Structure 1
């Protein structure tokens, strides 16, 4: 191998690493911080009399609504401009939202900025993988996908560690500090995005990719499974701190420790699942992850031992960011060598996920109130959603090849 070849390989490797770093920064800002940093701030928002309890819940939903809007708009915007420009812009928008939230001018003002932060996160989720992964060698895409969405886990961990530290300076200073961090990450990644993103104007319009019957059925089942995963992850994502503090009666300090453990799981999840998908395939990895999550939720229902619950919470924490590289890998496996179809399918999967996550958030909150605060009921529903998702693999084996052709 000559020097020129080695130099080209080194250059490509560096470009891949830079693109992955940009993706990690984007998921950290748009999803990790913009969504999860709000959870530990809720008591302070109420205690400082910025908003009432009902307003805080309403404002929390604004981010999920914005996420759904971003999932729907991200890809069309990228066609008109470019994925690179949209990703840069959305990171700046998320940063600006943090600065704006430092000034509680009104509920409407706060709602708009929480909605816009969610819109940034949804757009980033739709675009970041399809912009970065084509610049990564095929046999490393599972691990690379995990590295990109490691940012989500880092955001969860930061919400349990960085936010309490910033809160020592005050609530307003915390919002400003999160804005400074997000802006720094946006500027760090500014030049790292690939110059020619594959999500630009497609060679053909959406809806013209003809799918074989087996592939069409497989995609429908995958979308259904991804929706059920969204339903399953909401209980612990929303109610974990409250469950430990009030449900188990262990207090807020212990609850904060459990949230940090959840965050550590979220850091490990994308990399572990992504690397495993490279070795044994994304489909088998998905199957194992679903069983593992169902078992962990079962443990949380049956046990009240500190160490046992800590291990279960760590496993549950791997799931929200970990299922992203797995699902991406399954889509790429089904639609191999068709970037346009992969991007369209991922956009649809993200939209389905966002919709069911938002619906589940409202549904679990309603059920929690009506059941008198029955945390175990929520866990049972989450575990049931995982078991239903597992049935999807059996459905494909029974009906594979019998479905009608479809377009994407």
Structure 2
């Protein structure tokens, strides 16, 4: 018996909360707490972050080449469990080597969860003409970031950084119960949808390398803020509040962002919307360099949250629509290149910090590569037509 679409959607959102909002991104606000207690370097912190993104890269490549269609529910559950265990184990050791291993496995699991849950939920939404609901699904990442930013200070006050990881894992176990009963792949039993409910004007396949390079530069640039924004706030003498406030703001901004960017893209064009999102993100990355105040850092977090998941949603949808018959291959290529950028970014930023004793050089470089990526997309605007002029 098929689950009601709303329950399936909620199950998908909860899976993103577990594997991405917590499993993948909780490291950002917990990092300064761990560094304060254990005094390991920012370079080491960057390597740990890069281990996570290396795992994400391996997972993304495997999901693109392995035949997963018939086993999506089982594989999704397995990798959610793996994600939860890696979150628990982060709080059970203070070994840098083991942290790198656990973060690698966490990244590996998060790639499988992201792609499998996306496939199950988005295929179902397409089959019932609810494609625009996809923004609600992707909001799970923002909700996870928001929840973790609230819980981390509370858990740290009572249980220190070790108990913070374990407490977040306990929340994940609770959410996993609902994922288990609500998120099941029923698309194999659905009748194939013959007409798409949303028509997206797209450039020809020969334009794909431009999108791929731009998306790789986005992965390289955004992740510097995504890894170190709380540490930047923590080290700023003008930041007088708890630094996790920045992560809370980023999570709040991320929750509605995919829906808003999707609505804008259907009215204005996906390429134009992608360029705007990357331009705003580049500005947000630069703000802590030129506006060194608490307000500046908070606005940086706001712009980060409002764009990073939206950019992923826009780029993935655009890639899929360029060749629907080979959508899995195209999204796999985009995800892999994006993951390569993520892998390089934190280690490079950590090295720059060790040399300059400041994040400014890394932030300027990150803003520059994201802006370059946006510029590479400009030649795609000529391929877009106004959606309102297309036949329904």
Report the TM range for the smaller structure's normalisation. Answer: 0.7 to 0.9
2:352 is aligned, of 367, 383, 402, to 367
1:219 offset after TM fit, Å?
1.8
Runs of 4+ in 1 over 6 A off after TM superposition: 397-400
Distance apart, 1:253 and its partner CA: 2.9
Farther off after superposition, 351-360 or 265-274: 265-274
Structure 1 residue 356 and structure 2 residue 336: aligned?
no
Deviation track 1:159-183 (CA, whole Å, cap 9, x = no partner) reads 3211111112313332222122112
Task: Say if 2:244 is the partner of 1:260.
Answer: no
The range that moved more, 174-183 or 310-319, is: 310-319
Alpha-carbon deviation of 1:352?
1.0
Contact 2:88 2:169 in 1 (8 A): yes
Q: How far apart are the structure 2 equivalents of 1:325 and 1:158?
A: 21
Q: Deviations over 1:196-232 (max 9, x none)?
A: 457xxxxxxxxxxxxxxx6322222111111111122
Q: CA deviation at 1:357?
A: 0.8
* Pairing 1:273–2:257 present: no
Q: Residue 388 in 1 paired to residue 335 in 2?
A: no
**Partner of 2:196 in structure 1?**
none
Q: Measured at CA, do residues 64 and 157 of structure 1 come closer, stay the same or move farther in structure 2, by a change above 3 Å?
A: same
Task: Establish whether residue 243 from structure 1 lines up as the match of residue 232 from structure 2.
Answer: yes
Residue ranges of structure 2 left out of the alignment (5+ in a row): 189-202, 385-392
Q: Quick check: 1:184 aligned with 2:174?
A: yes
Aligned-partner SS, 2:24? helix
Q: Is the 2:49–2:227 contact (alpha carbons within 8 Å) kept by the matching residues of 1?
A: no
Task: Choose the corresponding residue for 1:174, options 154, 159, 164.
Answer: 164
Task: State whether residues 215 and 334 of structure 2, in contact with CA within 8 Å, keep that contact through their aligned partners in structure 1.
Answer: yes
Structure 1 residues 283 and 148, CA gap change in structure 2 (3 angstroms):
same
1:327 paired residue number: 315
User: Alpha-carbon deviation of 1:56?
Assistant: 4.7
Contact 1:94 1:182 in 2 (8 A): no
Cα separation, 2, equivalents of 1:114 and 1:294: 27
Q: Which residue of 2 aligns with 1:404?
A: none
State the alpha-carbon separation in 2 of the partners of residues 115 and 343 from structure 1: 23
274-283 vs 342-351, which moves further: 274-283
Q: Is the 8 A contact 1:270 1:322 kept in 2?
A: yes
1:144, 1:130 → 2: CA distance? 14
SS at match of 1:318: helix
For 1:253, what is the secondary structure of its paired residue? coil
Helix, strand or coil for the counterpart of 1:82? helix
Cα distance, 1:251 vs. partner? 4.2
Q: Considering only CA atoms, is the larger Rg found in Structure 1 or Structure 2?
A: 1
Q: Distance in 2 between matches of 1:23 and 1:32?
A: 13
Summarize the Cα distance change of 1:398–1:80 in structure 2 as closer, same or farther, 3 Å threshold.
Answer: closer
The answer (yes or no) to whether the contact 1:77–1:86 under 8 Å persists in 2 is no
Higher relative contact order (CA 8 A, sep 6+): 2
C-alpha displacement of 1:133? 1.0
Look up the SS of the partner of 2:243 in the other structure.
helix
Please state how far the C-alpha of 1:301 moved relative to its aligned partner. 3.9
Q: Is the 8 A contact 2:148 2:168 kept in 1?
A: no
SS of the residue aligned with 2:182?
coil
Q: Which residue of 2 aligns with 1:18?
A: 7
Give 1:206's aligned residue.
none
2:123 to 116, 131, 134: 134
Match of 2:139 in 1: 150
Which position in structure 1 is the counterpart of 2:49? 60
TM-score normalised by the chain length of structure 2: 0.83
2:74 to 57, 82, 85: 85
Aligned residue for 2:327?
A: 342
Q: Distance in 1 between matches of 2:94 and 2:244?
A: 29
2: CA distance between counterparts of 1:360 and 1:40?
Answer: 18
CA distance in 2 between counterparts of 1:397 and 1:62 reads 36
Determine which of 287, 298, 301 is the counterpart of 1:313: 301
Any idea what the Cα deviations from partners look like across 1:14-53, whole Å, max 9, x if unmatched? 633233222211211111101221222224434544x844
Counterpart in the other structure of 1:33: 22
- After superposition, where does 1:221-236 map in structure 2 within 5 Å? 221-236=210-225
CA distance in 2, matches of 1:335, 1:179: 39
Q: What secondary structure is seen at the aligned counterpart in 2 of 1:384?
A: helix
Q: Find the partner of 1:45 among 34, 41, 58.
A: 34
Q: CA contact under 8 A between 1:364 and 1:378: conserved in structure 2?
A: yes
